[in-house]
Structure 1
Amino acid sequence: MTDLLTINDILGPDGLIAARLKSYEQRPQQIEMAEAVGQAIQKRQHLIIEAGTGVGKSFAYLVPAVLAATEPESEGLSSEPTRPKRIVISTHTISLQEQLMQKDIPLLNSVVPREFTAVLAKGRSNYLSLRRLASTGERAASLFTDDNEIDQLRDLRSWVRETGDGSKSDLMFDVLPVVWDEVSSDSSNCMGRNCPTYKDCFYYRARSRVEHAQIIVVNHALFFSDLALRRANVSILPDYDAVILDEAHTLESVAADHLGISVTSGQVRYILNRLFNDRTNKGLFVSGGHKQAQKETIECHIAADDFFDEVYQWYLAQTSKSGKGNNGRIRQAEVLRNHLTAVLGKLAVTTRRIASTIEDPTKRQDFTAAHNRLEVLADSVNAWNKQALSEMVYWVEGYQRGRSQPRVSLRAAPVDVGPTLREELF
């Protein structure tokens, strides 16, 4: 009977996998690990396992995860009978995700006599937005400067009629970042159910598949992005009952990246160029003839260049010293003069005002999204400079190639990610 299925029934010497694979060899350590994982899931306990090469750890956690997610209703993990029991499996590398989704999980699906669904959850920016594709096509002349960019936009419009899931990985060519950034799904540029393409939206279709899945495979970056958002009562992933973190040696660094502050000169220059690039005379403010906004954007460009140059010069001075100051760390608030937040905030107000004058909601959304992004950047620069978040370490990273503008990153990360993970995850 399927409701009496055990780990040994699947992984044992006479189990379902052995019956399918002639070369299968029983591994006692694998079964021992699988039993421990199963007990931890069933009893809602934490478990740390270090498994050497050759143990077969992916099956050792996949099998108990599948059994737990497909248990009869009376024994299941979830206290919500209206949704499936869900287990998240988070990995660090793409190669392991591909192994799980293309090899291990399909094999289990073929031999385990219980039905279960497994999906790979991807970040939102991996999906094309049909509305943004159409909008970008209408404004292509004011956005792109290169014929190759226009050609790729045309190729994308053909591709959407053929693609299965609308994700970047389904493309047969390497799309230019400047093109994909204009057409990809973006939370700040999403109209939700008010979008005219909502019913056909690739991202929401993928999200629906995730919500109905029992096994959800993600990467650590997406998992911790979701965890960070949950602190603000927002989420990317649906609620889940257990999480298995493979390649856990990378967790601390990935968690720190997503639980702190990160603002780069490239991010600021990108949003400003998207609004107006005076060198190419392209941008959102061009199509509407917003001359005053173009002037303010130029002023913001100058302020951003000055600010990041000052930060970079400070960074070079620190890294040239010996001792404590040689790693770009900033040990006290407002060491640097922050004149960038004010001009970003001013431009955000202008962008919001322009958005309020646009009647077409699909066209207005681009300006609303730009306003929101400007506000986030302004607030982040201010929080970093004032060291507004406690229990954080603040620092600068930077480099310059030739005579190009320096690339500068303003960073802050928790001194210890443990308390946050204990509160939000464990």
Structure 2
Amino acid sequence: MAEGCPKTEVSGSPFFIRTSAMEVETEDITYLDPLEVSALLSSGGPAEKIFPGFEERAGQLDLLQYICTAFNEDKIGVFEAGTGVGKSFAYLIPAVLWAVQNKERAVISTGTINLQQQLFEKDIPAVRRLLGIDFKAALMKGRQNYLCLRRLHDSLAEADLFDEEKEVLQEISEWAKICDTGSISDLSFMPSSSVWQRVNSESDACLANRCPFFERCFVMKMRKTAADASILIVNHHLLFADISMRASGSGFSETAVLPPYKRLVLDEAHGIDAAATSFFSSSVSRFTFIKQLNKLYRVRKSAAGLLYNLQGISSCADCVQEAVAAIQLIRVRLGDMEDAASAFYAEVSSCRLCEATAARASDFISKALLLAQEVDSLCASVRNLIDGISEEEQAQQAVWETKLILRRLESAALVCKNFSEWEERRASVFWLEKHSLEKGGFYPVFYETPLDTAPLIYANLFEPVPTVICTSATLTAGGKKSGNSFSFWLGRSGARFADAERLMCASVDSPFDYKRNLLLNVAADMPLPNKECFQQFLEDMIVRLVRASSGRALVLFTSYESLQSACAHARRILPKEGIAVLKQGDDDRFRLLETFKNDTASVLFATDSYWEGVDVPGESLSHVIIVKLPFKVPSDPVFQARCEDLDSRGLSSFFDLSLPEAVIRFRQGFGRLIRHSSDRGAVSVLDKRLIAMPYGALFLNSLPECRRCFDCADEICSAVRRFTDG
């Protein structure tokens, strides 16, 4: 029994320890017995009898017992579990047992939809079979992944769509008649983003029970299924959407985006700071405004839009002309703001609003404020138009949709206003980013991002939810020699604000034999990355290393420009030798990875998201090449602001942010290679800072013990050839 649990009699099931309400002065709770639960996955237990090839894993049993204790004692459990531990079973089994026995819903949140699918389609059925318990589980994705039947109907009714777009919409319409989920992942083809954005579900455009397609709505069907489920499988973005709504007033006892829950598991927990930063950021661009304005008023063959729907039922019909004039002026203000913003960020791709840039930002800030004021005028005119509609007519769909549009416009205008108050809003980072247009040219996107998400995450996730399990293969920086320090992750995630007695941290090693199966190489004669000749050297070295492993390689970059140049160089050479060269962006991520898996004589050049979430076991991936240590680009606006904040408080932005963040990301990239116990291969690093700089030891100490070759290029290529051929 977990330490600290009330000692009580054992219930009818061997997995539980029951306590009465009188003993603990709370509702009747059935606690998990860690030893009995872990027996499920022990040698001679049910798992060995049910699953062919099953082997007991000591680390998995340890992790499962830790998680049982965290459930029993309302802990925040922070558990690093190396690749191959089997962490999904270790958290699913306690979550299912607790949820079923105590009639408390458990939510499992992952970083990627791919892992969601794996949990729901593979792991949940296996756990159901193992436990012999009939429980309900539901898979929930963000609503933008689901088809909206009303928006599909409206899009098909548009007379001036391009023929190609019409054809795709009609294919989606036929699919909608026979599919159960309405999820884009179940489509047999991948529609363009522009088509899907026209027909997918949107939260603030949903008419709920006013919608003529409400009875057939895929989102409502998904939510109904979730309401009856004991286990919910979600992703981090959807989780934060739920948390945000609860923080706004709905609390944890009612349904928000998700049904109410008391137990939460965060898999791939290393990414929750990034997920929170993304979710709690606000952004606006020309398209934010134009999309809404076009719904109100547009001119094609003639003037049309919701304004004219309202004009016929409002006693303030004259307001339509005021609104049209305001819309036309808003379009002018948008152009003015974009021109001023372009002058602000000049040749760079992104730029932050701060003391150093404030003087040259004054023009675009004043233009942004003028735009916001004009949006306020438009909203006032449209509200007057709505006020002139009788109470009976207020229920019309056009009125409802118009009110939603006004809320969107006002939210966008608020971001523009906040830019003018950036000096008073030091808890936010205000920055601009240059985006490319399909037909050439650029447009700016304006962002407001929290400087520090840790207090938000703690107050809205760790504090109100009784049990939170956080697990990943990479939560620490520095390895055993540094005491497997969780301090960086605890600080970035907000878990450090919890009382010490509520925190429970542990590391569980991977069962894989890295000493036998992995060779780590560092090119000692490469120039340092800050040298001009580095790119040329790395391009030649990549070709030599890929040739040494006969393809079967994933090349991870930190810069897309470097990737493109290196890939172009490789494509001039390697295909002639029978090695296919694949590049991120050439195809959909899923199809690209499938091509890579199926072609053992191929190399994949990638960056960003491919440092994690790539699972290619077996011979197809025998060599991971890491071009540079994955330090954040110093010019990244949010990273830059966070560094300045740390330095201003007497801390070190390098040692307290940049370095540990890079170590965790490096470990993610390293972890792409060995996915199964039978996998074997090499990781080659072309950044000699790993062995030349004192901080390189932190990276090396964070890795499992393995064979090492820190030598010149010739020797490394020979070592890779010998090792991967062996």
Give the TM-score normalised by structure 2: 0.51
What is the distance in 2 between the residues matched to 1:147 and 1:294? 30
1:81: which partner in 2?
Answer: none
Aligned partner of 1:268 among 274, 289, 304: 289
**Deviation digits for residues 246-265 of structure 1, max 9, x if unmatched?**
11121111111222332233
Aligned partner of 1:96 among 115, 137, 151: 115
Aligned partner of 1:113 among 132, 137, 161: 132
Aligned partner of 2:187 among 154, 171, 179: 171
2:166: which partner in 1?
Answer: 150
Q: Shift of the alpha carbon at 1:389?
A: 4.4
Q: Shift of the alpha carbon at 1:136?
A: 4.1
Matched, 1:252 2:273: yes
SS in 2 for 1:69: helix
SS in 2 for 1:232: helix
What is the distance in 2 between the residues matched to 1:156 and 1:224? 29
2:534: which partner in 1?
Answer: none
1:19: which partner in 2?
Answer: 49
What is the distance in 2 between the residues matched to 1:167 and 1:70? 28
Aligned partner of 2:410 among 343, 366, 375: 375
Matched, 1:343 2:379: no
Deviates most, 307-316 or 281-290: 281-290
2:448: which partner in 1?
Answer: 412
1:208: which partner in 2?
Answer: 224
Aligned partner of 1:237 among 258, 262, 281: 258
Q: Structure 1 stretches of 5 or more lacking a match?
A: 77-83, 321-325
Query: Structure 1 pair 225/367, CA: closer, same or farther in 2 (3 Å)?
Result: same
Larger Rg, first or second structure (1 or 2): 2
Q: Shift of the alpha carbon at 1:123?
A: 1.4
**Alignment coverage as a number of residue pairs:** 406
Q: Shift of the alpha carbon at 1:161?
A: 1.9
What is the distance in 2 between the residues matched to 1:237 and 1:286? 35
Letter in 1 for 2:416: V
Which structure 2 residues correspond to residues 254-403 of structure 1 after superposition, within 5 A? 254-276=275-297, 284=305, 292=321, 293-316=323-346, 319=348, 327-331=351-355, 335=362, 336-337=365-366, 338-352=369-383, 361-387=396-422, 389-400=425-436
Aligned partner of 1:70 among 100, 114, 122: 100
CA RMSD of aligned residues (A): 3.0
Aligned partner of 1:198 among 214, 220, 223: 214
User: Conserved in 1, the CA contact under 8 Å of 2:306 and 2:402?
Assistant: no
Letter in 1 for 2:456: T
Deviates most, 13-22 or 44-53: 13-22
Deviates most, 1-10 or 295-304: 1-10
Q: Shift of the alpha carbon at 1:24?
A: 0.6
Aligned partner of 1:129 among 148, 151, 156: 148
Aligned partner of 2:90 among 60, 63, 66: 60
User: Conserved in 2, the CA contact under 8 Å of 1:118 and 1:217?
Assistant: yes
Q: Shift of the alpha carbon at 1:92?
A: 0.9
Query: Structure 1 pair 249/281, CA: closer, same or farther in 2 (3 Å)?
Result: farther
Which structure 2 residues correspond to residues 219-238 of structure 1 after superposition, within 5 A? 219-234=235-250, 235-238=256-259
Query: Structure 1 pair 369/263, CA: closer, same or farther in 2 (3 Å)?
Result: same
User: Conserved in 2, the CA contact under 8 Å of 1:11 and 1:18?
Assistant: yes
Structure (1/2) with the larger strand percentage? 2
SS in 1 for 2:403: helix
What is the distance in 1 between the residues matched to 2:400 and 2:239? 28
User: Conserved in 2, the CA contact under 8 Å of 1:145 and 1:280?
Assistant: no
**Deviation digits for residues 225-280 of structure 1, max 9, x if unmatched?**
22222221243112211111111121111111222332233323333344445578
Structure (1/2) with the larger helix percentage? 1
1:36: which partner in 2?
Answer: 66
Percent identity between matched residues is 30
What is the distance in 2 between the residues matched to 1:312 and 1:283? 32
What is the distance in 2 between the residues matched to 1:298 and 1:175? 32
Q: Shift of the alpha carbon at 1:113?
A: 1.9
What is the distance in 2 between the residues matched to 1:4 and 1:54? 28
Query: Structure 1 pair 186/355, CA: closer, same or farther in 2 (3 Å)?
Result: farther
Q: Shift of the alpha carbon at 1:33?
A: 0.4
Deviates most, 167-176 or 209-218: 167-176
Q: Shift of the alpha carbon at 1:134?
A: 3.5
Q: Shift of the alpha carbon at 1:281?
A: 6.9
Letter in 2 for 1:110: R
Q: Shift of the alpha carbon at 1:13?
A: 1.3
Letter in 2 for 1:17: A
SS in 1 for 2:346: helix
Q: Shift of the alpha carbon at 1:100?
A: 0.8
User: Conserved in 2, the CA contact under 8 Å of 1:355 and 1:365?
Assistant: no
What is the distance in 2 between the residues matched to 1:182 and 1:231? 30
Letter in 1 for 2:354: I
